Amino acid sequence: MDVSAFDYTLPSGRIAQEPARPRDAARLLAHRIDTDATRHLRVRDLPDLLTPRDLLVVNDTRVRRARLVGRRPTGGLVELLLLERSRPGRWRALARPAAKLRPDRPLEFEGGRLRATPVERLQSGEWVVQLADAEGGDPDALAERLGRMPLPPYIRRPRAPARAEDPHADADERDYQTVFAREPGAVAAPTAGLHFTPELLAALDERGVPRTAVTLHVGEGTFRPVVAADTGEHRMHAERYTLDERAVAAVGRCRERGGRVVAVGTTTVRVLESCVCDGRLAAGSGETRLFLTPGSRFAVVDALLTNFHLPRSTLLMLVSAFAGRERVLRLYAEALEREYRFFSYGDAMLLARGGE
């Protein structure tokens, strides 16, 4: 399909810069695909929309403190996003400004305690950097301690070399991590999960809604724009996942009792639908490049809780594959008219087939 078919106009003021407080107070556009009925609720109303027959599936990845802000040898600011480690201290990273880095000219963070020496610039524009702790400690552990949450670029935060100069740092440390976070490895949050609170989980438990988890470590590719003109020309970024036998068994029991598999977020969808083999869900781990667009089949997921996504993004294409492009864009227009908040810290929508 033409990528422009997934475009829409979003006023900049609708991009949420802070989450709802409490997080389950975020608004929820709940839409029944089979009846075309829409309700405007709050995320805290989710227990009323699910039954004990259903199964809630969440992503338990944990976001790393992957963003470092420091100084170049000239004194200018530099920012690194640590993406993937190849061996102790050696990372593939995004840099800003990437063009001003030079091999073997160390960058300094937190007054020089942590150093990152650029080694090689890759064809992708990323850099390979070598970390070092000036006091001889573990540089990877030090980077995790000094780093900040890698918020997406549309959430505006101060760009300063010291965390103390960012008044949002402590709040984002809490806000940009889900209550399910267990397995470190993501450089972006599975944002639909950000809406959940201990109180909401307790209400779901009281309702008797079962829950299981998968793992998908969200990569930087989730924020990269689709530059191809046609969806068939886009190469999806790879993300590491794990689906264990417990989750497969939970899905099987849900099917036996006639319930719905409710995926919390597009990342959860990608894991579940990547692990279908000969029509059956199978446990496994690896990397997925699954790219779901209109016309794709969904073998596992019956309902999707998700945020409102960027125009022309692979996430919007996945949601359109699940519920239909025209329907999704119509619901987005309704959300804009009703002043919903968009993107990572924004409001949510539930797209479902069946239910009460």
Instruction: Convert the pLDDT of each residue in 144-159 to its tens digit.
Output: 999 999 999 999 988 8
Amino acid at 175: D
Same domain, 325 and 249: yes
pLDDT at 356: 65
Alpha helices by DSSP H, listed for the chain, are 46-49, 139-146, 169-175, 198-207, 245-256, 266-274, 314-323, 325-337
Same domain, 44 and 71: no
Same domain, 87 and 119: yes
Same domain, 46 and 75: no
* Alpha carbon distance 6, 325 (integer Å): 8
pTM score, two decimals? 0.96
pLDDT at 17: 97
CATH number of residue 124's parent domain: 2.40.10.240
Same domain, 230 and 332: yes
- Kindly state whether residue 154 falls inside one of the protein's structural domains: no
Are the beta carbons of 265 and 193 closer than 8 angstroms?
Answer: yes
- Kindly state whether residue 183 falls inside one of the protein's structural domains: yes
pLDDT at 166: 83
Q: Which residues of the chain have pLDDT under 70?
A: 223, 356
- Kindly state whether residue 198 falls inside one of the protein's structural domains: yes
- Residue 333, token pair as written in the block: 């227009």
* Alpha carbon distance 85, 153 (integer Å): 22
* Alpha carbon distance 245, 258 (integer Å): 20
Same domain, 35 and 98: no
- Kindly state whether residue 157 falls inside one of the protein's structural domains: no
Same domain, 106 and 47: no
Strand positions, DSSP E, 51-170: 55-59, 61-63, 67-71, 77-87, 90-96, 107-109, 114-121, 127-133
Structural domain total, the chain: 2
- Kindly state whether residue 163 falls inside one of the protein's structural domains: no
pLDDT at 168: 87
pLDDT at 210: 98
- Kindly state whether residue 165 falls inside one of the protein's structural domains: no
- Kindly state whether residue 303 falls inside one of the protein's structural domains: yes
pLDDT at 161: 83
pLDDT at 171: 93
- Kindly state whether residue 171 falls inside one of the protein's structural domains: no
Same domain, 207 and 270: yes
| Structural domain for 22, as ranges | 3-63+177-352
CATH number of residue 305's parent domain: 3.40.1780.10
What is the β-pairing status of strands 183-186 and 27-32? unpaired
Amino acid at 190: P
pLDDT at 128: 98
Same domain, 23 and 73: no
Same domain, 121 and 29: no
